[in-house]
């Protein structure tokens, strides 16, 4: 399969995301100004500071030409992963429920975090088992997940809460310890921790690779 990794002005983890995807299969770069997704099978929106994070994190990136194409791709069931800033962009675009607010500490949090897989319904968690613990680094200032209680209840019921922090204290004050959520169909997943930085034991953990492998498994299952 072929992964496409988006680069916005201000993205900074796009190279690592492409490298992580390449460990699983092919990976190509997608430019924010393009409407053509080059026939990729899955899209990764990486971390960073798209468009300088002006106004609100992810707010401007949402209107870039590539996002129009990604919205269509996602609505047709194409797998889309948003990491950190990519998660924020997907929430702003309405492809995922909720929003990300400044960390309750108001500080940049950077540390290795352990997240527990809550659901394997998503295309991006299928290679995991429920209850699996993944050690993945987090590094962000705006990672406090928020959705209204009725929305959270529905998400919980539908299995859309994909990942929860089990590290204590959690890095950002997210409601219910939420680290990652999916859409109802499961093809779109957003998470604050950075799986692309956890793909080699040399740097402490290869657990992040499981997410990229999941997308490949999901594709193999439907092919």
Q: Do 137 and 194 touch, CB atoms closer than 8 A?
A: yes
Give 63 or 108: the residue with its C-beta nearer to another protein: 63
Residue 71: CB atoms within 10 A of its CB come to 16
Q: Which of 92, 113, 124, 142 binds another protein (CB under 8 A)?
A: 92
Number of residues that bind another protein (CB under 8 A): 18
**Secondary-structure percent of the chain, ordered helix, strand, coil, rounded to 5:** 30, 25, 40
Q: Provide the Cα torsion 27, 184, 61, 137; round to 10°.
A: -60
Of 84, 123, 128, 197, which one is the catalytic site residue? 84
Closest distance of CB 93 from another protein, Å: 11
Q: Does 68 bind another protein (CB under 8 A)?
A: no
Q: Which of 38, 68, 72, 105 binds another protein (CB under 8 A)?
A: 105
Closest distance of CB 79 from another protein, Å: 24
Q: Which of 103, 160, 182, 205 binds another protein (CB under 8 A)?
A: 103
Applying CB under 8 A, the span of 28-36, 108-116, 118-126, 142-150 interacting with another protein comes to: 142-150
Please, what's the b/e burial string for 172-185 (b: 16 or more CB within 10 A of its CB; e: otherwise)? bbbeebbbbbbbee
The label of the residue with tokens 């529905």 reads: 154
Q: How far is CA 147 from CA 17, 53, 144, in A?
A: 27, 21, 10
Residue 221: CB atoms within 10 A of its CB come to 9
Q: Does 98 bind another protein (CB under 8 A)?
A: yes
Of 91, 92, 196, 197, which one is the catalytic site residue? 196
Closest distance of CB 61 from another protein, Å: 12
Clarify whether 196 is annotated catalytic: yes
Residues near another protein (CB under 8 A) are: 55-56, 59, 63, 92, 98-99, 101-106, 144, 146-148, 173
């Amino acid at each position: 399969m072929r992964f496409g990794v988006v680069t916005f002005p201000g993205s900074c983890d796009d190279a690592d995301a492409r490298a992580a995807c390449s460990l699983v299969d092919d990976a190509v770069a997608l430019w924010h100004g393009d409407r053509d997704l080059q026939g990729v099978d899955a899209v990764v929106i990486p971390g960073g500071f798209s468009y300088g994070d002006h106004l609100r994190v992810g707010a401007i990136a949402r209107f870039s030409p590539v996002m129009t194409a990604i919205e269509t791709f996602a609505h047709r069931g194409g797998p889309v992963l948003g990491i950190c800033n990519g998660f924020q962009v997907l929430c702003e675009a309405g492809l995922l429920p909720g929003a990300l607010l400044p960390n309750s500490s108001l500080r940049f949090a950077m540390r290795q975090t352990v997240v527990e897989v809550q659901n394997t319904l998503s295309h991006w968690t299928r290679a995991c088992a429920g209850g699996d613990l993944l050690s993945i680094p987090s590094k962000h200032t705006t990672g406090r997940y928020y959705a209204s209680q009725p929305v959270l209840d529905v998400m919980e019921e539908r299995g859309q809460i994909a990942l929860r922090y089990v590290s204590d204290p959690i890095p950002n004050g997210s409601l219910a310890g939420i680290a990652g959520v999916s859409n109802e169909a499961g093809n779109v997943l957003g998470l604050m921790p950075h799986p692309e930085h956890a793909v080699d034991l040399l740097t402490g953990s290869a657990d992040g690779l499981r997410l990229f492998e999941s997308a490949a498994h999901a594709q193999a299952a439907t092919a």
